[in-house]
Amino acid sequence: MIRRAFSLVELMVVVAIIGILVSLVMVGLSQMEASAYLAQDLSNHRMITKASALHATDNESRLLHPRTELTDAGQISGMINNPHVREIIDAQMIEEAVENCNKRLWVRSYDEAGITRLADLDTGLPEVSRQELMRALSDGAAWAYMDGDESHYRSPLDPTNLRRSYSINAFTGTELCPDEWFGTGWSDPFYGQFAMYAVGTPTLSAIPQPSNTFFSITEFDPGHNSSIPPGRNFLGFMLHPNQATGYANYQIWHDIPGFWYNGKYTISMVDGSTKAVPITDQELPEALDQHRVVYDGPDLRQIQGWMLPGVLEYRFDN
């Protein structure tokens, strides 16, 4: 009986085939893992939107508030003297708005007297290393409606080491205005021009197009300046809603989405639906490396159109 062994060529062919099969399996597993991460990310968005709806059920129909910092009457009292809003907002409305919004902050990331919700400076780390502590989440109005589970606040797609990946649309859940903070006394036209958008959306009934208004979004936070370093996802997610003026200040990416899923960002809409939104400009993630970048295009205008449709388009400049 003649016994024939495999030739070297045959062995090499077999090894090559096995290598190809392994690479295909690895690619498939990687795609499956990414899909699983996306599914969990979208589930977190749904959880945030559901938490807001449940909060409204228990709290006189009021949605969660997008701010992460306490506000006071001084921050928004300039509205009384602003010609765009003086006829519809008075001091009593501001006082009531401050009281109501501070009860509904979905996350409370900022320090108060005797309370620390950011990394303690006593650790010796520089201030830019300060990030949200667990208490920032558990002290927020959303916590009780999100199963008391920290994982719902962080996207598995998020490549950073931050505790929170999501922000809420600055035009939803507010009493008087975006984030309850116009900065109307500032000379900066970006903030001053927000005065014309004096509109409150504390309840679902104040949002005319729930299925076309975004609620939560993945946000990348590179830090605003030395006083507001990276890692806090400051306040709600805000873009100037005006698409038509041509002024550079209206074409600013004031906040930046997290483009963490194959060049897409993820959002939930007020009605609870979710989506991964592909970007048109593939260079956008590289261009938006800091806050307030002037970079116009269809991606900016798409999010602007989801800020508060049915209201804001009627408030554009001429």
- Could you report the per-residue pLDDT of 99-108, keeping only the tens digit for each? 888 999 999 9
Residue 173: its pLDDT value, please?
95
Q: What is the mean pLDDT of the chain?
A: 82
CB count within 10 Å of CB 69 equals 19
Residue 4 located in a structural domain: no
Residue 280 located in a structural domain: yes
135's enclosing H/E stretch is helix 134-138
Task: Single out the residue of 152, 198, 147 nearest to residue 176, CA to CA.
Answer: 198
Q: Please, are residues 271 and 210 in contact by the beta-carbon 8 Å criterion?
A: yes
Cβ-Cβ contacts under 8 Å for 104 (sequence gap 6 or more): 55, 59, 62, 63, 64, 65, 141, 173
CB count within 10 Å of CB 245 equals 14
3-state secondary structure of 249: helix
Domain containing residue 264:
10-315
DSSP string, 146-201: TTT-GGGGS-TT--S--S--EEEBTTSS-SSSGGG---TTSS-HHHHGGGGG----
Residue 27: its pLDDT value, please?
64
Residue 5 located in a structural domain: no
Residue 1 located in a structural domain: no
CB count within 10 Å of CB 100 equals 19
Q: Please, are residues 234 and 228 in contact by the beta-carbon 8 Å criterion?
A: yes
Residue 291 located in a structural domain: yes
Residue 272: its pLDDT value, please?
95
Average pLDDT over residues 282-306: 89
Residue 58 located in a structural domain: yes
Task: Single out the residue of 136, 107, 119, 112 nearest to residue 216, CA to CA.
Answer: 107
Residue 53 located in a structural domain: yes
In the chain, % of residues over pLDDT 70: 76
Q: φ, ψ for residue 17 (rounded to 5)?
A: -65, -45
How many structural domains compose the chain?
Answer: 1
Give the residue, 249 or 261, on which the prediction is more confident: 261
Q: Please, are residues 263 and 282 in contact by the beta-carbon 8 Å criterion?
A: yes
3-state secondary structure of 17: helix
Residue 203 located in a structural domain: yes
Average pLDDT over residues 83-112: 82
Highest mean pLDDT among 44-58, 276-290, 296-310: 44-58
Residue 195 has pLDDT above 80, yes or no: no
Residue 205: its pLDDT value, please?
94
